[in-house]
Chain A
Amino acid sequence: MATKAELYLFALSELENSTGDIISTAIVTHDGLIMACTRSDIKQKEIFAAYGAATFKRAGETMEEISGENIDMLLYESKNHMVVTVRAGEPALLIALTGKNVQMGLVIMNVQKTAQKIKEI
C-alpha cells in the first residue's frame, strides 16, 4: 500500500503533466517542512519549502489585517517566474513555481483541483 507521501507526489506529478511550464511543485506544512516535492536538488527543496510557507504566512497576516478574512491563494510573479500557493487542507500548502510561458488561468484551476485532491488524501 502506498504511503501518503507517495500519493502526494503522484498528485504533484499529475499537476505538472497536465500543466505546461511548471518548474517545480511542493506540498509543505505551515512550518515550512516538506511533505512532498518534485524538485530534485535537496538544498533548493528546503529553501523552496521554508520561504514558500513563510511568504504565505506573511501574506495571510496582511490579508487578515486588511480584510478580516483568511487567505486562500497567493500569487506572485517576477520577470521570468510565477509562484502560486494555495491551501491544501488544514495542515498543508501547495506551492507551484512556473515559468512565464504558462496560462495563468489554467495553472490556477489545476492547482486548485490538485489542492482538493490532496485534501481528500
Chain B
Amino acid sequence: MIDVSFLNGVEETIGLHVILSNIFWWVSLFLVISAYRNRHIWNIGELPWTFLFMTFFFFGIRELGHLTKSPILDSVRYIFGIWSAIFMTFAMIFIFMRLYMRKTISRSMIILPFTLIFLFPIILIYNIFSGTRIEDIKYIMSNTENIVWIIGSSITIYTTYMLGIKSTGGFINFYMFFHFAAIFAILWKFLGLIDNISCPVPYSIREIMETMFGVFAILSMIVLRRMLMKLSKQIS
C-alpha cells in the first residue's frame, strides 16, 4: 500500500535531506578544524573556537540520529540539538563581546553555557525515572529543542548583524552567512513548534528549511577557512 502522507512530504522521512544535512554538518566540522589550525591569524581566543567546534560536532551527531526511529534515541538526539544551539549562541556572543563590546569574557559567562548543557540531560533523566511515557518524553524534548533554537537563533541573528556591520572584507560574508543560517534555524524550529502544538506543517517544508540552515552554515565556514588559509600562505 502506498503511504500517501509520505509521498506528500507530510511526515518525517529518511531521504535526501538527511544525507545532505549529514554531509553539510560533518564537512563543516572538518572546515572548523582546518580553520582552527590557523587560529593565530584570527585570535579571538580558544573558547569561541571550541564552541564553534562543539556547535558543528553536536549538530552532526543530532543529524546522525535521523537514521534511527527509536523514540528514546530521538529524545537523546534532541539533547545534542539543544547543546549545538547553546554552543552556537555562546560562540557568537563571545566573539561579539570581544570584538564589538571590547569586553573580557567573565568567569560567569564561561560557566553559563556549561550549566545550561547539564540542565537538559537532567530533565530527560528525570522524565525517564518519573515514569513518563517515552512518546511524551520525545514530545517534551522536541518542544524544548525548538524553543532553545528559537531563543538561541534570535540572539545569533542580533550578534551576527552587529558584528557584520562593523566588519570588512570576507568577514562580512562570514557573519552574513551565519546570520542567514540563524534565520533559517528560527523558521525551521518555529514550524516544528507550531506543528507539535496544533498546526500540522508538511515535513517537506521543514526539511527545506533545515537543509538551507546547513547550506548557510557550511558557506560561513568555507569563507572563514578560505580567508585564514589565504593569509597563512601569504605570510609564510
Residues of A within 8 A of B (CB): 3-5, 8, 29-36, 42-43, 45-47, 50-51, 53-54, 56-57, 91
Q: Is the CB of B234 within 8 A of A50?
A: no
- The contact string, 1 if C-beta is below 8 Å from chain A, for chain B 164-194, is 0011111100000000000000000000000
**In the complex, number of A-B residue pairs with CB atoms less than 8 Å apart:** 62
Q: Offer 17 A-B interface pairs, CB within 8 angstroms, sorted by A.
A: A3-B235, A3-B236, A8-B235, A29-B231, A29-B234, A31-B169, A31-B171, A31-B227, A33-B42, A34-B41, A46-B42, A46-B98, A50-B166, A50-B167, A51-B166, A54-B167, A56-B168
User: Is A46 in contact with B166, judged by CB distance below 8 angstroms?
Assistant: no
> Does B123 belong to the interface (CB within 8 Å)?
no
Known: A42-B43, A43-B104. A30 touches B99 (CB 8 A): no
Q: How many residues of B contact A (CB 8 A)?
A: 20
Shortest CB-to-CB span from A106 to chain B, Å, is 28
- B contact residues vs A (CB 8 Å cutoff): 41-44, 98-99, 102, 104, 166-171, 227-228, 231, 234-236
- Chain B's closest residue to A58 (CB) is B168
Distance A46 CA – B94 CA, assembled complex (angstroms): 14
